[in-house]
Amino acid sequence: MPEQPFLLLLLLLLLSSILSSTATATVAARQFKEAPQFYNSPDCPSIVENNHRAEDNAEKPEADDDGIFLCSETAVHVAMTLDTAYIRGSMAAILSILQHSSCPQNVVFHFVASASADAPHLRATISASFPYLRFWLYRFHDSAVSGLISTSIRSALDCPLNYARSYLADLLPPCVRKVVYLDSDLILVDDIAKLASTPLGDSTILAAPEYCNANFTAYFTLTFWSNPSLSSTFAGRTPCYFNTGVMVMDLDRWRRGGYTKKIEEWMELQKRMRIYELGSLPPFLLVLAGRIAAVDHRWNQHGLGGDNFRGLCRDLHPGPVSLLHWSGKGKPWARLDANRPCPLDALWAPYDLLQTPFSLDS
C-alpha cells in the first residue's frame, strides 16, 4: 500500500493548514470589552475652540466637535503606535490612562499605524471599546525608514513602526506643540496630566527619566568609542541612558531644530559601520542624551519584561510608582496566556480588555 504514507502526509499537511488558518482567524477576530466611560472632575479646564484642521495623513474622527480638541494646548496630547500585534497592550494602556486621569475627557490620543495596516479595523477596535474617545489615526509609511534600519539584537526592534516616534513632528499637525509619547506595553497608575506638565525650560526638546547609573558605554560598539570623531559627539555633555518608551516632547522645538534629520544621519552612518546594536534607542541617545529634562523615575518603572533575550521576571525599582513598563522581551499578556506569569503581571491584568470565551456579558 505505497499510497497510504503519501495520503497520510497529505492529510497531516491539510490539517496543519486548517489549524494555522483557524489560529490566524482567531487572532484577527479578537474581541475586546467596552471600557467604562470616565468623566472630568469639576475643576478641569475647558477646552477652547480653534480653527486648525488635521493633516491629510490623519484619519479624522466622526464627531464634529472633536475638532476643537485637536490643537488645543489645554488638552493632554498622547501619542502611541498601533498595530495588531500589540493592540491588546495598547487597549490596556488607554484604559489605565483614562482611569487614573483627573480630566479624562481632556485627553486626546494620536495613534500612528503603518500605512499597510488595516486602519478601518484598528479604528473600529478602538471605537468599540472606547466609543467616547477622542483620537486621530495617522498613517506611517514604512518606506520612510525601512532603508535606514539595521538588524538589531531582537527582531521586534527592527519593525519600521518602532521608529515612528522619530517622525511624530512630521506626522502630527503643526498645531500640536507638545505630546506625551508612550509605548504600548505599559500602564499608568497616576494622573497623566502630571507627566504632561513636566517643565522643559526655554530650549529643551524632550523630557524623560534618566538612569545615570546604567553603563552608558554598553549602548555603543567598540568601533564607535575607538573613533574620536564619533565619540566626541558627547563632548561637553554628561550623557545618561533614558528609555524612549516614555517621553514628553516639544514638537515645535523638534521641528525647528530638524531633529528627525539628525537621527536619520546617525542611522545612515550605522548602515556603513556598526556603531550600536539596539534598534531605535541609540540614535536618540546620540542626539539627545545629556540634553533632556529629567523626569522622576516613578514615571518609568521599566524593564518589567526582562532582558531582550529571555524576558525573565524582574522586580520594581525602589521608590514610588506612577507608570509600570514591560519593556524587554516578555509581555504580560503573553505570559498570562501561557499560564507562566511573573508576579508583577498581576498588576497589568485588571486593565486587560480582551473578551475571553469564558467572560460573561454584563
User: Taking 70 as the threshold, does the pLDDT of residue 30 lie above it?
Assistant: no
Torsion, Cα 42 46 47 51, to 10 degrees, reads 150
Q: What is the pLDDT of residue 309?
A: 72
CA-nearest of 105, 275, 117 to 192 is 105
Q: What is the pLDDT of residue 154?
A: 57
* Vertex 210 angle, CA 157 and 295, to 5°: 110
Biggest CA–CA distance in the chain, Å, is 83
DSSP bridge pairs for 32: 354
Q: Record the pTM.
A: 0.87
d(CA 278, CA 143): 20
Torsion, Cα 171 260 270 232, to 10 degrees, reads -160
What's the Rg (C-alpha) of the chain?
22
User: Taking 60 as the threshold, does the pLDDT of residue 28 lie above it?
Assistant: no
d(CA 327, CA 115): 25
205-215 pLDDT, tens digit per residue, is 999 999 999 99
**Average pLDDT of the chain to the nearest whole number:** 87
CA-nearest of 254, 255, 280 to 267 is 280
Q: What is the pLDDT of residue 21?
A: 41
User: Taking 90 as the threshold, does the pLDDT of residue 20 lie above it?
Assistant: no
Region 156-169: mean pLDDT is: 89
Residues 6+ apart with CB under 8 A from 107: 75, 76, 78, 97, 98, 101, 134, 192
d(CA 75, CA 47): 7
- The DSSP bridge pattern shows strands 186-188 and 293-294 to be unpaired
How many residues comprise the chain? Answer: 362
d(CA 350, CA 33): 12
70-119 pLDDT, tens digit per residue, is 889 899 999 999 999 999 999 999 999 999 999 999 999 999 999 999 99
Q: What is the pLDDT of residue 10?
A: 55
Region 238-250: mean pLDDT is: 97
208, 214, 280, 334 from 129: Cα distances, Å: 30, 39, 31, 21
8, 22, 26, 84, 288 from 19: Cα distances, Å: 16, 5, 10, 20, 48
